[in-house]
Chain A
Amino acid sequence: MNPLELARARPDEAFTVTFDGRPLAVLPGQTAAAALWAAGVTAWRSTRGTGRPRGVFCGIGVCFDCLVTVNGRANQRACLVPLRPGDEIRTQEGTGRDHE
């Protein structure tokens, strides 16, 4: 069953953000991690040492594994960042600052 039905949620209208340039539909209140998961994306960062894929681990802001670049700012915890219409989410490579 759709979790929205389980929770009897009546969210406002969906809006659009982009992930690496591709549009994603987001419900108001969803974090970057929730929106990415809902779209079937489970990895959006590569590790600093060996470039291995990472996504949500703890989901509550503690582990810093789900870091992602949102609107040009790297190292944000996807599980805590609420999305707004037009936000640009990008896959983060390493520290996300290698090109500064």
Chain B
Amino acid sequence: MVGAACAWYAARAGLDVRVVDRGPVAGGTTGAGEGNLLVSDKEPGPELDLALLSARLWAQLGDELGTAFEYEPKGGLVVAATPDALTALHAFADGQRSAGVVADPVRADQLPSLEPHLATGQAGGVFYPQDAQVMPALAAAHLLRASGARLHTGRTVTGVLRTADGTVAGVRTDRGDLHAPAVVNAAGTWGGDLAALAGVRLPVLPRRGFVLVTEPLPRTVRHKVYAADYVADVASDSAALRTSPVVEGTAAGPVLIGASRERVGFDRSLSLAAVRALAAGAIGLFPFLERVRALRTYAGFRPYLPDHLPAIGPDPRAPGLFHACGHEGAGIGLAVGTGQLIAQRLTGKTPELDLTPFRPERFESCEEHETSGDSEDFKDHDTDGGDTP
């Protein structure tokens, strides 16, 4: 999705764009997402600024192409089960409001009018009208098609071409070289591997999540609904399994149930513990789901960087290389803002957001003394890269 958005905005800025994907379109994390475009789960800071920029851009794209990819500006509802959770949620929302988020408090007695099937006994909630949803695989495919960029699927990047002075000059693939003055690394959870081909380190790690898909239903869940403790889970650094219920209906009918987070590498095997916890959490929010059957489940790997911020912008360690990856679980939403910023940077304009917090080289200093073995690896890669004509 991030790659498609970069292609779209770069092409619109007048650049000649090629997109290389070793798999099919949306074959990685994009195809395993729920398509959330959220501002509600972000605290004030650079990620929220990017989310607000992205929300505006998605709304514009929604006008142009929205029916093709099921853009639904339906809003998000965050629900607090206890008075303590509600106090914390209100404090969180106050901070967000000062950063430009629309966050409307919802009293317990107003909840049924927003979500008639929500479990009773909640303390209250906050409604976020800027939250929206797309069908991510369709969004990536339609943006790519509309961009006019040339698409090479099933083609693997095997190296990054560098000139004698180290400047990036394109990529080597399993089906020939592609020469270009700028290369954007939008490889998502595999962005660290692509960075390594250019001899630079970007510590992207996979954070696994399952989504549970129900049988198709008439529109029963109207908004994106989640429990207030979701925000704490997203921000946590724990490797162990964490789940908090996130429930939403889709245009096609099935209800999607998330969200689990655990760091287990690229292990795709089904975790019964995770999907059980998802189902139980969702039934806690929407008791009618107990009588609904889950048809299937799928897993994906969020591209996780240690400070939970993506890497966006030029890499000074490899001139000509740009990064647009590491958006963790927010990549669909943040894709368009990222694409816009990358396109602005590629065309020599001043990006409309400060890219300093997203600098791809920001992990350099803290990791050098952490694992000396790793930096040896990357020196080797650097030499390989330098040898490439």
CB atoms of B295 and A64 under 8 A apart: yes
In the assembled complex, the Cα of A74 lies from the Cα of B253 at a distance in Å of: 14
- Bound together, the chains give a CA A85 to CA B218 distance in angstroms of 31
- Complex alpha-carbon distance, A13 and B252, angstroms: 42
Rounded to whole angstroms, the CA-CA distance of A1 and B218 in the bound complex is 44
For A70-100 the 0/1 string (1 means CB < 8 A from B) is: 0000110000000000000000001101101
Residues from chain B with Cβ under 8 Å of A52 in the complex = none
* Contact present for B217 and A97 (CB under 8 Å): yes
Residue of A nearest to B216 (CB): A95
Judge whether B215 is part of the interface by a CB distance below 8 angstroms.
yes
Interface size range on A against B: 10 to 19
B349 an interface residue at 8 Å Cβ cutoff? no
Give B69 Cβ to nearest chain A Cβ, in Å: 15
Taking CB atoms, residues of chain A closer than 8 Å to B253 are: 48, 95
- Determine if B293 is an interface residue (Cβ-Cβ < 8 Å): yes
B206-224 contact mask (Cβ, 8 Å, vs A): 1 or 0: 0000000001111000000
Give the distance in Å from the alpha carbon of A67 to the alpha carbon of B215 in the complex: 10
- Cβ A75 vs Cβ B218 within 8 A: no
In the complex, how many angstroms separate the beta carbon of A54 from the nearest chain B beta carbon? 12
Cβ–Cβ contact A95 & B218, under 8 A: yes
Q: Is the CB of A97 within 8 A of B295?
A: no
| Residue in chain A with minimal CB distance to B295 | A64
Measured between alpha carbons, how far is A57 from B252 in the docked complex, in Å? 19
A64 and B217 CA atoms in complex are apart in Å by 14
Q: How far is the CA of A97 from the CA of B216 in the complex (A)?
A: 9
Residue interface bits B221-248, CB-to-A below 8 A is 1, else 0: 0000000000000000000000000000
Are A97's CB and B218's CB within 8 A? yes
* Contact partners of B293 in chain A: CB under 8 A: 75
Residue of B nearest to A75 (CB): B215
Hey, which chain A residues are within 8 Å of B217, CB to CB? 95, 97
Min CB–CB distance B55 → chain A (angstroms): 27
Give the residues in chain A near B252, CB-CB below 8 Å: 48
Instruction: Give the residue name and chain of the A residue nearest to B291 (CB).
Output: A100
Q: Which of A97, A98, A100 has the largest number of chain B CB atoms within 10 A?
A: A97
Which residues in B have their C-beta under 8 angstroms from that of A64?
295
Interface set of A (CB-CB < 8 Å, partner B):
48, 64, 67, 74-75, 94-95, 97-98, 100
For the complex of A and B, the 4 pairs showing the least CB-CB separation, nearest first, are A75-B215, A95-B216, A98-B218, A48-B253
| B contacts, CB < 8 Å to A | 215-218, 252-253, 293, 295
20 A–B contacts from the bound complex (CB under 8 Å): A48-B216, A48-B252, A48-B253, A64-B295, A67-B215, A74-B215, A75-B215, A75-B216, A75-B293, A75-B295, A94-B218, A95-B215, A95-B216, A95-B217, A95-B218, A95-B253, A97-B217, A97-B218, A98-B218, A100-B218
